[in-house]
Amino acid sequence: MKVDIITIFPRMVEAGLAEGVVGRARTSGLIDIAVHNLRDFTTDKHHVVDDVPFGGGPGMVMKPEPFFAALAHIREHRGVPDAVVMLTPAGTPLTQAGARRLVGVSHIVLLCGRYEGIDERVREALATEELSIGDYVLSGGEIAALAVVDAVARLVPGVVGDEQSVDGDSFTRGLLDYPHYTRPAEYEGRQVPGVLLSGHHGEIRRWRRQAALERTVERRPELLADAALDADEHEWLSKRSKS
């Protein structure tokens, strides 16, 4: 998987890509990510990337020319990308299904905006899609680009060592996670649930499944529509909703 990221804050993006699972995937050659400084594609003495909005209004707009020049550079030196993704609050919200789709795209370019946004002609002529990472206001697209790369990279085979932890086990897929514990068995008067110390693997699986179901119904009941529940669980849920 090849990714190119265009940004005015390349050090911020490089710092986020250097650590953890993504950092290891890069150094081991499982993913090829290049970060490009948008200012390197300006032609004026002061490397200006923004200008005032036509029609007036607050803030500044990112100029189109540096994005076109950066894309030309990528096509020449890195190949013709399969997708050019603009990160914008007006984009399609990123989901796990969206991350699974993108891991099937061999070469992706991510365009990060700052200020009030990017000149519309960049979207029209260069972008193949627009993504948001959720309904809250960020200061720019860089953190969103890192979220996209992180969500997609961990789906590349071999990037996450334990394949089971990539999508959850079949038992809890579609539900929120169950609570996790490690040693010590008692900490500041708080006990680890006894069933987890029992060694009864069937009971442990049932306890975790039930805990995941309870958390999901309390916190994110809308997720239950797409979760695979068995007959007992449907019955438990309908009894619970009557109380």
Compare residues 135 and 162 and give the one whose CB is closer to ligand 9D3. Answer: 135
Q: Which of 169, 226, 232, 235 is catalytic?
A: 169
Long-range contacts of 11-17 (CB under 8 A, 24+ apart): 12/142, 13/112, 13/142, 13/145, 13/146, 16/142, 16/143, 16/146, 17/146, 17/149
In total, the chain counts a number of residues equal to 243
Task: Tell me if residue 11 is catalytic.
Answer: no
Adjacent-strand bridge partners of 216: none
User: What's the min distance (Å) between Cβ of 145 and ligand 9D3?
Assistant: 8
Cβ proximity to ligand 9D3, 37 vs 88, nearer residue: 88
The catalytic position among 89, 130, 214, 215 is 89
Binding site for ligand 9D3 (CB under 6 A): 87-89, 113, 116-117, 132-134, 136-138, 140-141, 144
Q: Please report how close the Cβ of residue 119 comes to ligand 9D3 at its closest, in angstroms.
A: 13
Q: Which is nearer to ligand 9D3, 53 or 174 (CB)?
A: 53
Cβ contact 103:155 at 8 Å: yes
For the question of residue 26 being annotated catalytic, the response is: no
CB of 9 to ligand 9D3, least distance (A): 12
Q: Which is nearer to ligand 9D3, 42 or 132 (CB)?
A: 132
3-state secondary structure of 157: coil
Q: Find, among 176, 194, 173, the residue nearest to 185 by Cα.
A: 194
**Residue 101 designated active-site:** no
Centroid of chain to Cα 12 = 16
> 137 vs 225, which CB is nearer to ligand 9D3?
137
Catalytic: 116?
yes
Q: Compute the least distance from the CB of residue 152 to ligand 9D3, in Å.
A: 15
Of the residues 116, 120, 232, 235, which is catalytic? Answer: 116
Strands 61-62 and 32-37: unpaired
Question: What's the closest the beta carbon of residue 147 comes to ligand 9D3, in angstroms?
Answer: 8
Cβ-contact 181, 191 below 8 angstroms: no
Contact 113, 62 (CB under 8 A): yes
Residues involved in catalysis: 89, 116, 154, 169
